C-alpha cells in the first residue's frame, strides 16, 4: 500500500482542510474566544458529527445573527461540506475536523449556546456505549461547555439509540423539554425542521424520525 494511498489521502482531503479558511485547524488557541473568529459577540452553536454539512449550512443561512461550527471527525467527509462552502460562502459558519471527545480542550465553560446531534453513530455493542454521542459521559462534557440554559437537540431514526439516549437522561442533570417518536408527523416539533442527509435517506425509506430537545431544568 501504503505510501501511495496515504499520499493520495493527504493531497485529497487533509491538505485541503489544512489550507481552507473555513476550517479552524488550531481550535485550542481559540478556547474562550471563539467570538474572535466570527468577529462579533453573537451566540455560538455547534453540530457534532455534521457529516457533509447540509443541516448546519442551511441553519446558518437562515440565522445570520448566530454563529455556527460544524464538527466532523473525518476529513474525507468534511471535504464535502468545504466544497459546498466554496460554491456558496456562509459567513457565520466554520468547520472543525476534530473528535468530540476533546471538546473541553476547544471550548471554555459555558461558551456554547446550543448543541445539535443528528443521526449519531449507534455503536451497537454494549461495551462501546460511552462512544455514543448522547451517552451520559458525553452529556457531562456538554454540561461543561454549554451555557446554563442551553439546549441540546438530537435526531435519529435509530430507535435503539434513541431509547438509550432517553434512558441516559435519568442518570444526568438533563431532562426532555420536548420529545417525539415521529418528528415528521409532529406538527409542533416539525416546524422549521431542516433535513440532514441521513434524515432524507432514512425517512424516504419510511423510517420515522425520533427527536428530543433537552435542557438542565431539574
Residues that bind ligand SAH (CB under 6 A): 48-51, 71-74, 77, 99-101, 118-121, 196-199
Angle at 193 between CA 40 and CA 61, to 5 degrees: 30
Instruction: Please list the alpha-helical segments (H only) found in 32-186.
Output: 34-38, 54-62, 75-87, 103-106, 136-145, 159-169
Smallest gap from residue 39 Cβ to ligand SAH (A): 26
Nearer to ligand SAH, 67 or 118 (CB): 118
Nearer Cβ to ligand SAH (3/127): 127
Decide if 99 is catalytic: no
Contacts of 19 (CB under 8 A, 6+ apart): none
Task: Between 101 and 178, name the residue whose CB sits nearer to ligand SAH.
Answer: 101
Minimum distance from residue 56 beta carbon to ligand SAH (Å): 8
How many helices (H) and strands (E) would you count in the chain? 10, 7
Catalytic residue among 14, 99, 113, 121: 121
Minimal distance in Å, beta carbon 217 to ligand SAH? Answer: 26
Q: Are 126 and 190 in contact (CB under 8 A)?
A: no
Amino acid at each position: 500500500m501504503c505510501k501511495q494511498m496515504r499520499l493520495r489521502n493527504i493531497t485529497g482531503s487533509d491538505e485541503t482542510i489544512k489550507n481552507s479558511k473555513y476550517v479552524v485547524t488550531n481550535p485550542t488557541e481559540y478556547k474562550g474566544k471563539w467570538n474572535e473568529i466570527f468577529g462579533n459577540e453573537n451566540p455560538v452553536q455547534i453540530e457534532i458529527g455534521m457529516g457533509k454539512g447540509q443541516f448546519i449550512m442551511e441553519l446558518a443561512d437562515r440565522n445570520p445573527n448566530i454563529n455556527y461550527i460544524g464538527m466532523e471527525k473525518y476529513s474525507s467527509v468534511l471535504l464535502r461540506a468545504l466544497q459546498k462552502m466554496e460554491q456558496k460562502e456562509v459567513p457565520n459558519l466554520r468547520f472543525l475536523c476534530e473528535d468530540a471527545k476533546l471538546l473541553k480542550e476547544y471550548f471554555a465553560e459555558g461558551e456554547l449556546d446550543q448543541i445539535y446531534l443528528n443521526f449519531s453513530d449507534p455503536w451497537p455493542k454494549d461495551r462501546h456505549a460511552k462512544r455514543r454521542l448522547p451517552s451520559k459521559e458525553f452529556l457531562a462534557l456538554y454540561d461543561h461547555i454549554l451555557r446554563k440554559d442551553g439546549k441540546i437537540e438530537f435526531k435519529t431514526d435509530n430507535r435503539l439509540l434513541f431509547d438509550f439516549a432517553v434512558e441516559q437522561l435519568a442518570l444526568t442533570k438533563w431532562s426532555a423539554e420536548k420529545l417525539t417518536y415521529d418528528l415528521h408527523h409532529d406538527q409542533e416539533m416539525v416546524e422549521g425542521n431542516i433535513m440532514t442527509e441521513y434524515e432524507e435517506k432514512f425517512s424516504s425509506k419510511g423510517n420515522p424520525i425520533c427527536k428530543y430537545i433537552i435542557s438542565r431544568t431539574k
